[in-house]
Structure 1
């Protein structure tokens, strides 16, 4: 339970195959993960601005592990950045992903192949993420999302359209969100970030979202 909060936040099934688990990572684990993200964000193949095919840019900046994501595919090098080889995906991060799936959806939802891709998005106070689907992977393994820093409004929709019906979920530092099965290709996005809401002890201004996927490539 957060300080000053009347009712504790509890685990919620947002849709079939989609689960929100508040407080999944404790303060020490969050700090360790933040430290790793800061190292991954350094050049080469570090944090970059993603450019869309239409010539625009995403307001959230990104760094990738394992394979480099660009609209709309994967590469071994930062093809839309400095061209350097993508940083390796650490085994411990894959184990974190498998533990998250087993905890949120049950061991029966664990994919046969290991997690091998991480997309790490950094949001400052003005950053957003439009409604989109994670559909560039060959695998249908559940997507694992862990939040650090500022709270955001996470909009989780349906598999047919970017519009309603959708559910807005408040994701705070340390929260876990997993979606797979019938929700694997649901549209989702971040309409806003709430600046200044990060735990002071974490030492992060803004929001980091660590998304783990199985490439199937």
Structure 2
């Protein structure tokens, strides 16, 4: 893993030679209705600096819609606190449990809506893509991802759960992919989201027919 990390730093350095070395703040989010993990990094050229890593615990709320409200409100809080230039979010994985997938999709949707409401560009990455970017292995475990991030950003302490490192991984993945070819869905605002997802947005004039 150490060798892979060195290769990633070299690759990122080469990418950023072509990019202006202005400061960027990236907010990474791992959406969930039990725990929402998030990480914030500051990027200047090829350098990354950890600003915050934490988790929003939602287990104590029994009402699903209240959980969604808390996710939206906390995402807005993070935006107002850190003023991110971009948001990177982990896309829901495809599983056999349809109800779990629906809940994850809603959690992701409200987090995205919070960012889009502030006109912040959003990029989605699959879990496999994020793991590949961090460890070089698309099937890496949460623990392997966490250990690599701990090495890359010299984290003194990992969060109690590993959802926080998953959110941070989304931010670092986006940093590594900056300046490269398009690798994920991205939206620059609500209009951009609607144009790319016309089949997912209902026309109000036909919804009551």
Class of the TM-score when normalised by the shorter of the 2 chains? under 0.3
Q: Which has the higher strand share?
A: 1
Q: Which has the higher helix share?
A: 2
Query: TM-score normalised to the size of structure 1?
Result: 0.26
